Amino acid sequence: MVLSVASIKHRCMFKTTIIRRKIFNAAQLTQEDEPSPIVCKKVLIFLETELKLFCQSGARGVELTRYIACDCRNAHMHIVRQFDMDVLPCGSNGMEVTCYCRLFEDDVQQQVQRCRRGFDARIGTRARKMKNRLFFPRPAAHKVKQGFVDDVTIVTVSDDLNISWRRFGVRLGLKWSKVNKFNADDTQTYKAAKNMMNDWRSSLSNDIHQRKVLCTALKQHKLSQLAEELFEGEIRDENLVTREAEKWFNDQDLLFICDNLDPESWRRLRVRLGLKWTDIKKITKNYRLVEDCIVELLVTWRDDQSKSQQIPIMVNTLRQQKLVGLAQSVRERHGYSDESEVAPIHINLPEIPTPMQGCLVDIDIVFIANKLDGKDLTIFGIYLAMEKHEINRIESDFSPPIVDAYIEMLVQWRSRQEAEVNHLKSISEALNKVERINIKKEIELYCHERCGKLK
């Protein structure tokens, strides 16, 4: 049966009349200023029963939820799951809901509270406080958390994050490994972000001001406008949470490096840190955003290093990559005031044959690629027996920068060589053919010096 708009409107008006009559009758059943809890329960059950029909009609986005309008200036709504609190968290004050608790709480809970109040009146104030400490400790869930972030705020933020939600979770203080588990549970971006933020909120201790942490994360995530809309000057910059400098990297430190890293140099940075080029390619397939790839690579590297070596290795690798400003920021961020504290130390590179044997590893290929010119890519690859269509595809996938295209081409070329082939000799011959004798000499000198250092 199809209902017209007019008939639906008539039915809604009829239901409204019944609801008003129920509330009026409820008010007549008591001589007090408010109806009894039993009557309120009946009215609430009636409303939920009638409105549930609309939720089951198949209309998209329609659901039944209990809300209480907040008294704060933002006039947001509290989602009520159970009336087990005297105060609902909001800002630094909270909102008293004793009236709601009195009218809608379960009868058993109400009777228990009545017995406690009667007993408390008989034993006196001092004894009552001692009794409460010994026999009725207040559960941690009943404490009002500082600057509580409500469900409406979580929904609003989750909707604005899009596919960048993983890094936002790290800004909130969650570990990268935990953030990735939410995507494994739910591949939908919005739901994954919402579940992640709910988990973050529930994991915070009561002494942490949730709204300050959220405001800080939004501004770091370049969502300052959203932060202003949500908090309207409530939280100033000087109140943002800071932490003491540590001599090793946590996930937020690695995210700081990611935020300030040149997006065209991140692959080469990871090679310098000791990760294989082929492993980098595998990781990039698992993430849609370059920034997420960078964080995953940095976390993978960090987990293989001892705490005492992490910062010195990173600072010196950034300098090798000519990212001197970022290296200085990392050093200062972790309280290294003396240059000698981050002196160059050995990076944990895999055991490899020496360059004198002619076998070039990834770090050698990075050095060679940095010396080559973009205009020589195609002809140089052809002299290495690469097909032109292969070179064009590599250039399309890995440039800019052109140096990454050179690395990919050389890595693919190296994987096709027989064990007895001298890589350095083959590359030197190709450089002779493209008349880049100066680069050939630089590469040969570099390889001989590196061989001496390895010995």
Q: Are 404 and 397 in contact (CB under 8 A)?
A: no
As a residue count, the chain comes to 455
Which DSSP category does 87 fall into?
E
Question: b/e per residue, 278-309, with b = 16+ CB within 10 A?
Answer: eebeebbeebeeebbbbbbbbbbbbeebeeee
The 10 Å Cβ neighbour count of residue 327 is: 20
Q: Take residue 305 and report the two structure tokens written for it.
A: 């290093």
Residues 228, 235: Cα–Cα separation, whole Å? 9
Q: Domain 355-454 in CATH: superfamily?
A: Death Domain, Fas (1.10.533.10)
- Measured in whole angstroms, how far is the alpha carbon of residue 320 from the centre of its chain? 29
Given 3-state DSSP classes, what are the helix, strand and coil percentages for the chain, each rounded to the nearest 5? 65, 5, 35
Q: Take residue 164 and report the two structure tokens written for it.
A: 């960048």
Q: Domain 151-239 in CATH: superfamily?
A: Death Domain, Fas (1.10.533.10)
Is the full-model pTM beyond 0.75?
A: no
- Match domain 251-342 to its CATH number in 3.40.50.970, 3.40.50.300, 3.30.930.10, 1.10.533.10: 1.10.533.10
Domain 251-342 shares a fold with domain 355-454: yes
**Domain definitions of the chain by residue range:** 5-64, 87-142, 151-239, 251-342, 355-454
Question: b/e per residue, 20-54, with b = 16+ CB within 10 A?
Answer: eeebeebeeeeeeeebebebbbbbeeebeeeeeee
Q: Give Cα separations from 129 to 4, 114, 141, 271, 400 (angstroms).
A: 63, 17, 20, 64, 70
Nearest to 76 by CA among 229, 239, 233: 229
Q: Are 216 and 241 in contact (CB under 8 A)?
A: yes
Question: b/e per residue, 186-218, with b = 16+ CB within 10 A?
Answer: eeebeebbbbbbebbbeebeeeebbbbbbbbbb
CA atoms within 13 A on the CB side of 369: 24
Q: Take residue 408 and report the two structure tokens written for it.
A: 């990919």
pLDDT tens digits in sequence order for the chain, 455 residues long? 334 444 444 445 545 555 555 555 544 444 445 667 677 777 777 777 777 666 655 554 556 666 777 766 666 676 665 555 666 666 556 677 667 666 665 443 444 454 455 545 545 555 555 545 454 444 444 444 557 888 888 988 988 888 889 999 999 999 999 999 887 666 678 889 999 999 999 888 878 888 889 999 999 999 988 888 888 766 665 444 456 678 899 999 999 999 998 878 888 998 998 888 988 888 888 888 889 999 999 999 999 988 888 999 999 999 988 899 999 999 989 888 767 776 665 554 444 444 446 688 888 899 889 888 888 899 999 999 999 999 999 989 887 889 999 999 999 999 898 877 888 889 989 988 888 888 888 888 887 777 654 44
Q: Where are the strands (E) in 43-117, listed by range?
A: 67-69, 77-79, 87-88, 95-96
